[in-house]
Structure formats: structure tokens, C-alpha cells
Amino acid sequence: MTRQDAKPAKISASARNEALEPSSPVMTFGRDKPLRLDAGVDLAPFQIAYQTYGTLNAQRSNAVLVCHALTGDQHVASLSPVTGKPGWWENMVGPGRPIDTERYFVICCNVLGGCLGTTGPASIDPGTGEAYGLDLPVITIHDMVRAQSMLLDEMGIESLLTVIGGSMGGMQVLQWAASFPERVFSAIPIATGARHSAQNIAFHEVGRQAIMADPDWRGGRYVAEGVSPRKGLSVARMAAHVTYLSEAALHRKFGRTLQDREAPTFGFDADFQIESYLRHQGMTFVDRFDANSYLYMTRAMDYFDLEADYGGSLANAFAGSSTRFCVMSFTSDWLFPTAESRTIVHGLSAAAANVSFVEIESDKGHDSFLLDEPELFRTIDGFLSAAGRLRGLS
């Protein structure tokens, strides 16, 4: 194992630069420390890019692991080296925030299969000297979590005060609590499910097919051939972004307002503001994300099914766990509706776990956990502070 410190921050032309020369610190695991994947093969060597915020206390008891969602990264509370924009959860993580970096030591990793420094399809395959592309074995949420646990081992962190994340990040939280209950004092899964629904698998398949239908995808070998499936990835992002919002949020923000014109063009330009917005989302996404990583990470979410992994009973996944849980959902989230959070709560209750549940009234849809939601902030602040007191933090 070797650790590389962060390189000077820079604004990259694309995520490809960060995949090869990450600005974040990187922990590298050699061939002597392979990661056994659920696909049945060993991955070695591999590396994990990560960021930390705050100070680890002498007892090493104040560590908080933040798990990012599908299109997130390790830059939870710091400028993105690709876009130059603030961290994706700066309203949650930082001095005086609910996850207070003056009290807690916060860690956020780029997940396995990602594209900002952790080994993924854009990384170099040591066997060929070229980008892995689709030669990288398929990755699961379980694989992501095991890789994170190896990172924490190298950092000397035996247990976490809490693991927190929304959406795909929430899946990682649940996997952490199931796989390493002795290492997780508390867990906060937000806007997530214990398995991916058929509807969500369908949405992901639409996105993957859009990417693979792009002539520049080249069977996943676009890096070696010097092209990029930008159009396909852009369409995938547009389709997914619709699922992150609610109908009420779309209507409030855009309605049927025309874009910079007083009458329709009677053509196929972006007549409506919502069309222009989605096209912008797609165009900006392709510079910060790798298309093959999108395939791998959506597939990891599709395969996630804790109930199936533990003998058909969600209670089995958490049997005997002493972890304290706070499960959270949003009323307008139709991607991971409240019913899925209640299923998690029922499974935890059946396992006699310590669990609280909060459904937050919001009309902002799935993305509510990333936005300014005072009840979300109050709940996390209160739960995390209580966990800290129970663990002896001042």
C-alpha cells in the first residue's frame, strides 16, 4: 500500500485528467493486497482517491464517512478540480454545518468504478497500458464498500461515528451497516432503498442504451480511439435528471415558459425553458464524467439487493446489529419513494435494531437531500450530535 498526497488543485479539461492524475490524495493497493470482487475475480493493483476535512481526534472516534451518489465524487466540501464549483454537499459539511468539520473528521471517497482518481474504466489497465474500458470487471455496491474499508484500515480508523449518504450513497450506508456492523456506530441512509426497483433499473437501462448507441462509444474503447460518446452520455444525463426532480419542482421552476422567445418556432429547437435546461445539464455533465463509469455505476445500483444477499430477509442483514439508524425520505421523491424507506425501517425493526425514521415534507423531489431543507439539516445535526455524546465526544 502506498499513499500519494494531493497534487496542487487545478481545473481540468475533463474528468479524464482527474482519472489519470487526481488532485486528491490517493491510496494505492498493490498486487499483494487484492480486492476480491463479487464478480469472482481479484482486482489488483487498484487505488482510491479521497478527501478529508477536519481533524481526527486522539481516540479516533469522531470519523464520519460520507458516501456519494451516482454522479457525485470525493469533493463533498471543496472545489471540484474539474468544474471549479463548490463541493456538492457544502450546505451539509463544513464548519458550523450539521456535519461540523470543527467536531468531526470527515472522509469522502470516489467510489470504485468512478472516474475521479479511484480505479475505474478510465484508469490504466497495467496489463495492457491502455484504459480498462469494459475490461474492468463489473463492480457492485458491496465491492465499493469493501474498498472503502481497506482505505480506513490504512488510515488507522477502526470504527466510524457515522456513515451517511443519499441515493446510491444510501445504498453504501446500508451495505456498510450490514457488512461491518462492528465498525459503524450510527448510520444515516437518505432517499434510498434496500434494493433497486424494476422502474429504476429501467431508467438506468435507457441511459446505458443511449450511451452505447452513440457511434463514438466504440464498444467502450473510445479512449483508445481518441473519441468520446458525448451525445449519448448527454442524453443519459438528461433522462436521469428528470427523475431527480418532482413535477411540482419542474412546474415551479419552468412551467411551460418559452426560452428567449415570444412564440414557438414550430421546429425542434429548444423552445421551452425546460428543454434548454436539460440540454445544459447534459452538455456540462460530459466534461466531468466518464461514460463507461456511468455504465458501471448504474449497473452497481441495479445489482444492489440486500434482501436477496441475506437469504431473502432484510432482517437477516441487520441481525444483532448495535448500530443506531436514522432513515430519511422525502414526500415528493418518486425515484426512491417513502415506501422504500419504510421497508428498510421494517427490516431494521424486525432485527430489533435501534432505528428512527423521518419523512420530510418537500416538493423538490429526489434531489431534496442535496438542497436547502431545514428539517433535513436539523435532523442530521440532532442525530449526529446525540451519537457523538453517546460516544463520549465533547
Give residue 8's pLDDT: 41
Residue 68 to residue 197: CA distance in whole angstroms: 20
Proportion of the chain above pLDDT 90, given as a percent: 82
Residue 47 to residue 45: CA distance in whole angstroms: 7
Q: CB under 8 Å to 311, separation ≥6 — which residues? A: none
**105-119, 268-282, 379-393, range with the lowest pLDDT:** 268-282
| Phi-psi sector, 58: left (phi>0), alpha (psi -120 to 50), beta | alpha
**51-55, 206-210, 247-251, 367-371, range with the lowest pLDDT:** 247-251
> For residue 302, which amino acid is it?
D
Q: Is the dihedral of CA 372, 377, 379, 383 positive or negative?
A: positive
Q: Are 175 and 112 in contact (CB under 8 A)?
A: no
Q: Enumerate domains of the chain plus CATH numbers.
A: 2-195+307-390 (3.40.50.1820), 200-298 (1.10.1740.110)
Say whether pLDDT at 207 is over 60. yes
Say whether pLDDT at 53 is over 80. yes
Residue 3 to residue 274: CA distance in whole angstroms: 45
Largest CA distance in the chain: 67
Give residue 10's pLDDT: 39
Residue 314 to residue 131: CA distance in whole angstroms: 38
**pTM (predicted TM-score):** 0.94
CA 3 to chain centre: 23
Residue 168 to residue 191: CA distance in whole angstroms: 9
| Higher per-residue confidence, 303 vs 81 | 303
Q: Give the bridge partners for 42, in sequence order.
A: 36
> What mean pLDDT is reported for the chain?
93
Place of cell 445500483: 301
**6-15, 197-206, 307-316, range with the lowest pLDDT:** 6-15
Give residue 5's pLDDT: 62
Proportion of the chain above pLDDT 70, given as a percent: 96
Residue 331 to residue 51: CA distance in whole angstroms: 32
For residue range 138-158, what is the model confidence (pLDDT) as tens digits? Answer: 999 999 999 999 999 999 999
Catalytic residue numbers, as ranges: 167, 333, 366
The mean pLDDT value for 118-143 works out to 96
Give residue 19's pLDDT: 85
Give residue 12's pLDDT: 38
Residue 183 to residue 55: CA distance in whole angstroms: 19
Helices and strands of the chain, counted as H and E runs:
12, 13
List C-alpha distances in Å: 362 to 158, 200, 356: 37, 21, 19
Residue 105 to residue 124: CA distance in whole angstroms: 31
> For residue 372, which amino acid is it?
D
For residue range 30-49, what is the model confidence (pLDDT) as tens digits? Answer: 999 999 999 999 999 999 99
Residue 2 banded pLDDT, cuts 50, 70, 90? low
